[in-house]
Chain A
Amino acid sequence: MKTRIGLAVAGVGLGLWGLWLLLSTLDPPALIRLPIWLGGAVVADDFFLVPLTIGVGWIVARWSARPDRHRAVGAVRTTMLYVGITTLIALPLLLRQGKGVNPTVLPRDYLRDWLLLEATIIAGGVAGYLVQRFTFRRSRASSGDIGGR
């Protein structure tokens, strides 16, 4: 219990210090708008990104219930997740392509690079699936287990 109280007291103290820093360094218009952005961050996470992940996960799980799909579902799920997270991070880069404050900021062709990255991830997913199938068949053949899934 002592540890918990200590943690809580330290936490509240540091949080108040942060709040004081905000109040003392930001001017009133900025202080009024900051909570809107904080709320927006929660909405973006809890009411868009996470529900999207859960929704897509649900669709993939339903899709995989059909015969013979269960073998591919792992590769499909991982591939979609990797495509999603890299696209999320690439988004600001794609939006700002060519709008860097000078030519050394955002110097790559981010659209081409993003397409290449996603193609690589998908190719990796397909390769992973094929390797898995191949080793699965071999292990099944060597064990003599014909009837198993």
Chain B
Amino acid sequence: MKLPAPPTEKAFPSPLHHPRVATVVGRWLATAVTICFFTGLYSHFLQDTPSWLPIPSRPASLYRVTQGLHVLSGTVAVPLLLAKLWTVYPKLFAKLPWPPTRQALGTLLERASILVLVSAMALELFIGFLNTLQWYPWPFPFRQTHYALAWIIVGALLVHLAVKLPLIRANWRRTAEKVPDSLPPAITGLTRRGLFRTVAGAATLVGITSVGQSAPAFGPVAVLAPRKPNIGPQGLPVNRTAEAAGVTGIDENWRFMIMGPQQLSYTLDELRALPQSRSELPIACVEGWSQGARWEGVRIRDLLELCGASMQSRVRVVSMEKGGFYATSELPPDFAADPLTLLALRLNGGELALDHGFPARIIAPNRPGVLQTKWVHRLEVIS
């Protein structure tokens, strides 16, 4: 039996497989990718801060905004990527030039760069979205792969732009549209403007139904979001529960320690007796969800003063959590000295729930949730 022949480039009759359409949809996709890349880079640098990069602790809600944008732009990129692939789909069946010439080599390299771009971007969006559900069905580490693929995508995208630049320039502004002359297609066929509206509508729809996990105003319609910001103990979601972290609570021998110029040790009651401060700060997670909350506890800067450390100190935070990548974190000097940064003992008017880090946790402005270390039992002044 003979298999049917694969389609050729000419087998797709729609006039919407056109460079002008590819340019417009490509611009939208590039905008989403750019926002996603830079917000992702920011998040990466907050978690793995290079020594040459000073990151300020204000504005306090900056990370909430950037990470919300990161997940939003990534989610919205899904319909945009599909629309882009649809537009250029006939190119997949373009004949490879034969016999091989210099020009053919160029075409081959270009198609290889597109293969890299499409495969990396599709996988990046897929693993990124599944990460917001905390679902990891693949056999490679999420964070490292997601970060490396981002650079590969941006690189392949720049190569793609270099190759297509003349075509992009020629189609940057509106070009004449071929209108079919027979009646039914004229009425039933989608115009370019119609296609742009539909794609923009799809992207908006996906955005509105998922942004509610970071923007509480859209919470009720966030039917495509894996989080509801007000669900969880004390009205706040949890990423890592006490059970998952192997923390069961404290006994009467529990002491909170500060290792600085002086070593101080406090019982929980003694901590409660220290001057308490209040901060209104969000928990903003790398998975994109965020929720504001009212925290009460002791300022880290007050604790630094009590142990005689300088206000430019870097502080290591040690949790009772068993193992795990985030059992310790570091507060850079700007964050440790910020008057909003607390060793929090209370949340939204009640004692901290065990899943939120009882008896004490760090809450600091402009930081990813994974660095807001829970179940803290020791602070070490490093410098």
How many chain A residues touch B (CB < 8 A): the figure is: 75
Query: Which residue of chain A has its CB nearest to the CB of B229?
Result: A104
Q: Is the CB of B82 within 8 A of A78?
A: no
Mark interface residues in A87-110 (1 if CB within 8 Å of B CB, else 0).
011101100100111111111101
Query: Which residue of chain B has its CB nearest to the CB of A121?
Result: B205
Query: Which residue of chain A has its CB nearest to the CB of B85?
Result: A50
Contact of A41 among B126, B134, B183, B244 (CB under 8 A): B126
Contact of A54 among B12, B156, B187 (CB under 8 A): B12
- A residues near B82, Cβ cutoff 8 Å: 45, 49-50, 53, 85
Q: Provided the pairs A73-B188, A116-B223 are in contact, do residues A92 and B130 lie with their beta carbons within 8 angstroms?
A: yes
- Beta-carbon contacts under 8 Å, A119-149 to B: 121, 149
Query: Which residue of chain A has its CB nearest to the CB of B123?
Result: A41
- Beta-carbon contacts under 8 Å, A24-59 to B: 25-26, 29-31, 33-34, 37-42, 44-46, 49-50, 53-54, 57
Question: Whole-angstrom distance between the alpha carbons of A48 and B123 in the complex?
Answer: 15
- A residues near B120, Cβ cutoff 8 Å: 38
- B residues near A54, Cβ cutoff 8 Å: 12, 86, 89
Mark interface residues in A1-41 (1 if CB within 8 Å of B CB, else 0).
00111111011111111110110011001110110011111
Is residue B115 within 8 Å, beta carbon to beta carbon, of the partner chain?
yes
Is residue B46 within 8 Å, beta carbon to beta carbon, of the partner chain?
no
Q: Is the CB of B187 within 8 A of A149?
A: yes
Mark interface residues in B153-183 (1 if CB within 8 Å of A CB, else 0).
1111111111101000000000000000001
Q: Provided the pairs A104-B238, A116-B223 are in contact, do residues A78 and B75 lie with their beta carbons within 8 angstroms?
A: no
Q: Provided the pairs A11-B162, A46-B118 are in contact, do residues A114 and B141 lie with their beta carbons within 8 angstroms?
A: no
Contact of B161 among A7, A37, A107 (CB under 8 A): A7
Q: Provided the pairs A50-B86, A89-B210, A113-B223 are in contact, do residues A107 and B78 lie with their beta carbons within 8 angstroms?
A: no
- B residues near A13, Cβ cutoff 8 Å: 155
Q: Is the CB of A22 within 8 A of B228?
A: no
- B residues near A77, Cβ cutoff 8 Å: 190, 198
Mark interface residues in B65-102 (1 if CB within 8 Å of A CB, else 0).
00000000001001101100110010010000000000
Q: Is the CB of B155 within 8 A of A74?
A: no
Q: Is the CB of B184 within 8 A of A86?
A: no
Q: Is the CB of A64 within 8 A of B188?
A: yes
Query: Which residue of chain B has its CB nearest to the CB of A31?
Result: B140
Q: Is the CB of A70 within 8 A of B206?
A: no
| Contact sample, A vs B, 13 pairs, CB 8 Å cutoff | A12-B159, A15-B155, A18-B149, A18-B152, A39-B119, A45-B118, A50-B85, A53-B82, A69-B188, A74-B190, A92-B129, A101-B244, A104-B231
Chain B residues in the interface with A (C-beta under 8 A): 12, 14, 75, 78-79, 81-82, 85-86, 89, 92, 113, 115-116, 118-120, 122-123, 126, 129-130, 133-135, 138-141, 144-145, 147-163, 165, 183-185, 187-190, 194, 198, 201-202, 205-206, 209-210, 223-224, 226-228, 231-232, 237-239, 241, 244, 355
A86-B209, A89-B78, A101-B134 known, 7 other contacts, Cβ within 8 Å:
A7-B161, A11-B160, A19-B148, A38-B119, A41-B122, A46-B118, A50-B82
Chain A residues in the interface with B (C-beta under 8 A): 3-8, 10-19, 21-22, 25-26, 29-31, 33-34, 37-42, 44-46, 49-50, 53-54, 57, 61, 64-65, 69-70, 73-74, 77-78, 81-82, 85-86, 88-90, 92-93, 96, 99-108, 110, 113-114, 116-117, 121, 149
